[in-house]
Amino acid sequence: MQRGQFSSTFTFVLAAAGSAVGLGNIWGFPTNAAENGGAGFLLMYLILAFLLAYPALMAELIIGRHTRANMVMALDSIATRQSAKKLGRLTGYAGMVTASLILSFYAIVAGWMLGSMAEPVASFFGFEALGAWLTAFGTARNIILTSLFMLLTGLIINAGVEQGIEKWSRRLMPSLLILLIALIAYVLTREGATDGLRHYLVPDFSQMTNPDLIVSALGQAFFSMSLGVGTMLIYGSYIRSDANLPMVGSLVTLADTGIAFLAGLLVLPAMFVAQNLGVAIYGDDGSLIGGPNLIFQVLPTLFESMGGVGFLVGFAFFVLMSIAAVTSSISLLEVPVSYAVENHNMSRKRATLWLSSAIFALSVAICLNFDALFDAVISLTTEWAQPLISMLICLFAGWVFYRNSILNELKQGNPDIEHSLFWKLWPVYVKFVCPALIGVIIFQGLLF
Ligand code: PFF
């Protein structure tokens, strides 16, 4: 069977950054930062992103490109002992289940983005009631918008790597960056913005040892870089053999953390600007409000306060958010789809149809039991499953995969790698330091 491939390293970086940059950066990161004391969270997040998430990303990319297979087959094939092969397959299945569960809640939040995108248009044409319905929390609205979003994701995945994933990432990612920067420039001119900046950029170090903050920052870093579910491994399997992997990995890491940082620069100051405009941003207990609705409350207020252009800016913002969500959700759906196509000989079309329907059924279950399931699924997948599976992937890269095979893999696209700092540090790092640190953080999170 002909496997798909990214046509150049540049398009790979765009697609991998497209997967990494999504609701996690613009919805998840600022919400988490607001809930966890602003700057302290930002600092811990940056430390963990470069110290743990980048090496773990490299493990996925290297294993993926070497094996040219989905995670189940990849981890099985680098192992020689039966027990390790079995553990590899189990890890692959766990990644697939996690990817599906993530997509089930991701599609709900992305549906809200679609709703907020359509609202200004509906209101503009005089359909006020429809506009209100699109943005007010409700089970029917959640399910309908989620179904639209899943449909969009399925259509792109059905089109395959070059025509689907690659084409859309290349078009859409740069526009997101430009709009974000323009919005930051605007918000920083408004009254109240400096209070938000202070909150975001001046850390309170006493908070940084809080176990909850560390676990949240770890979860955020792994979620944001799309790790621990096999996405980056499968994207690595589509990359050309002459690409320089450590460089590609660092570009993706920089793009991802950069956009999260920028999103914080928009949303936290926007909260304080909104406060000036009469929105309550502190909860009853005196802490900043966070929660899933944060940006849906704060940003529209900001857009309205812009006057006439606010309508256009709000529309553009939510269009781009929806796009960022699609370039991530396609990478999530690709995980089970590539497995079904490669291991069960299903056609891409059938696999996409069945799997997206099954994941949509999970989303409906969450919508129907929102209070009980929504936060629980997010915490289970992002704070526990992703770091744990990443830890296993690092263990595979460090202990099971032969050092020589790794070196040969890295030499393609970078013949001098043997003398580089990356090669001196990374193998030891991924073997001992990454798994140990992830283990300690998870353990302390469980204890406290
Ligand atoms: N990284 C994406 C985001 O920040 O929105 C979410 C995500 C995509 C997580 C793909 C995991 C994944 F495999």
Q: Output the pLDDT for position 160.
A: 65
CA 21 to centroid of ligand 1, rounded, Å? 7
Instruction: Decide whether any atom of ligand 1 lies within 6 Å of the 231 Cβ.
Output: yes
Among 14-28, 64-78, 155-169, 408-422, which is the least confidently predicted range? 155-169
Ligand 1 centroid to residue 279 C-alpha, Å: 30
Average pLDDT over every residue of 9-35: 88
What is the number of the ligand 1 atom nearest to the C-alpha of 328? 8
Span from the CA of 218 to the centroid of ligand 1 (angstroms): 14
Residue nearest to atom 10 of ligand 1 (CA): 226
**Least confident span in 217-221, 234-238, 290-294:** 290-294
Arithmetic mean of pLDDT, 293-297? 81
Check the CA dihedral 224-158-112-12 and report its sign: positive
Contact 314, 120 (CB under 8 A): yes
* Predicted structure pTM score: 0.92
229 in ligand 1 pocket by Cβ < 6 Å?
yes
Cβ of 99 closer than 6 Å to ligand 1, yes or no, is yes
Ligand 1 center to 420 CA (angstroms): 30
Instruction: Specify whether the CB–CB gap between 134 and 141 falls below 8 A.
Output: yes
Measured by CA distance, the residue closest to atom 7 of ligand 1 is 226
Nearest Cα neighbor of 393 from 149, 160, 253, 225 is 225
Q: What domains lie within the chain, and their CATH numbers?
A: 9-447 (1.10.4160)
Q: Whose CA is nearest to atom 12 of ligand 1?
A: 226
Q: What is the position in ligand 1's atom list of the atom closest to the CA of 99?
A: 13
How does residue 161 score in pLDDT terms, banded at 50, 70 and 90?
A: low
Number of Cβ atoms within 10 Å of the Cβ of 295: 27
What is residue 1's predicted lDDT score, i.e. its pLDDT?
A: 47
Which residue in 154, 160, 134, 223 sits closest to 363, CA to CA?
Answer: 154
Indicate if the alpha-carbon torsion angle 235, 225, 371, 439 is positive or negative: positive
* pLDDT at 2 > cutoff 60: no
331 C-beta closer than 6 A to ligand 1: yes
> Residue 282: phi, psi to the nearest 5?
-110, 135
Two tokens, residue 354: 């069945």
Q: Which atom of ligand 1 is nearest to the CA of 331?
A: 10
Q: Write the pLDDT tens digit of every residue in 311-364.
A: 888 888 898 888 889 889 989 999 999 999 999 999 989 999 999 999 999 999
- From 29, 45, 103, 106, give the residue whose CB has the most ligand 1 atoms within 8 Å, as the site to mutate: 106
Helix (H) or strand (E) holding 328: helix 308-344
Q: What is the pLDDT of residues 192-219, one digit of tens each?
A: 999 999 989 998 888 788 888 998 899 8
Q: Are 392 and 405 in contact (CB under 8 A)?
A: no
Q: Is the CB of 19 under 6 A from ligand 1?
A: yes
pLDDT tens digits along 249-262: 999 999 999 999 99
70 ligand 1 Cβ < 6 A? no
d(CA 291, CA 309): 28
Find out whether 155 and 348 touch, Cβ atoms under 8 Å. no
Mutate to test the pocket of ligand 1, among 26, 57, 224 (most ligand atoms within 8 A of CB): 224
Kindly give the distance from the C-alpha atom of residue 152 to the centroid of ligand 1, in angstroms, as a whole number: 17
- Separation of 22 CA from ligand 1 center, angstroms? 7
The predicted pLDDT at position 24 comes to: 93
Interatomic CA distance for residues 175 and 212, integer angstroms: 35
* CA neighbor of 28 nearest in space, from 378, 442, 441: 378
